[in-house]
Amino acid sequence: GIRAAQRAGLNPVKVNCVLLRGFNDDQIVAFAKFAREEGVIVRFIEFMPLEEDRLWTRESVVPLREVVEQMESYRPVVRLSPNNASETAVRYTFDDGVGEIGIIAPVSQAFCGQCSRLRLTSDGKIRTCLFSQFDHDLYGVMKRGGSDEDLATYIERTVALKEARHHIGEPEFLKPSRTMVHIGG
């Protein structure tokens, strides 16, 4: 698995870990040690309301602050600069520079203002945000015989409609119309 990917030159190897309070939040330091020992980037991802069973609650989220505190209990951490302006992970290394940890915290520290991402689903829909209530039907444009120019125009219009932010944790928040298993990612 991971070592084979490294031997094949697929570096950097990133290991994603969705944290759930009471389930695996006691493994943060172990994953941090794993990043240091194996030379991989471990990325902790806050649990988001995208799962099939619709069990998400705000209380189940392990926020960025707690992840950093747990890593600090093991060894001092240093925040790294982003690789690019739209990077979703807040990156850390340890005081000796060994190991990298990324924390993707869309719930406790939303990064909507810097997000430039779109998702193309396997059924040809564009999602402008994981938490969108609707999709934009790019496949429909193709199916109707749309030219490359038509597709480009449709994508540009879709990008212009991109939500300014999600509303997780706010009274008006609605869970997305599709779960992650149906969105892909």
State whether 32 and 98 are in the same domain. yes
State whether 122 and 49 are in the same domain. no
Domain that holds residue 129: 117-183
Q: Which of the listed residues 60, 91, 112 is the one where a domain comes to its end?
A: 112
State whether 47 and 125 are in the same domain. no
Q: How far apart are CA 91 and CA 61, in angstroms?
A: 19
State whether 77 and 133 are in the same domain. no
Binning pLDDT at 50, 70 and 90, where does residue 184 land? low
Q: Which of 66-70, 84-88, 127-131, 158-162 has the highest mean pLDDT?
A: 66-70
Q: Tell me, yes or no, if the pTM score tops 0.85.
A: no
Helix (H, G, I), strand (E, B) or coil at 57: coil
Closest CA to 58 of 66, 50, 49: 49
Q: How many domains does the chain have?
A: 2
State whether 107 and 131 are in the same domain. no
- Tell me the DSSP string of 67-131: HHHHHHHHS-EEEPPPSSTT--EEEEEETTS--EEEEE-TTTS--GGG----EE-TTSEEESSTT
What does the pLDDT look like over 75-111, one tens digit per residue? 999 999 998 877 888 999 999 999 999 999 888 887 7
State whether 76 and 166 are in the same domain. no
The pair of structure tokens assigned to 122 is 């396997």
Q: Which of the listed residues 112, 141, 159 is the one where a domain comes to its end?
A: 112
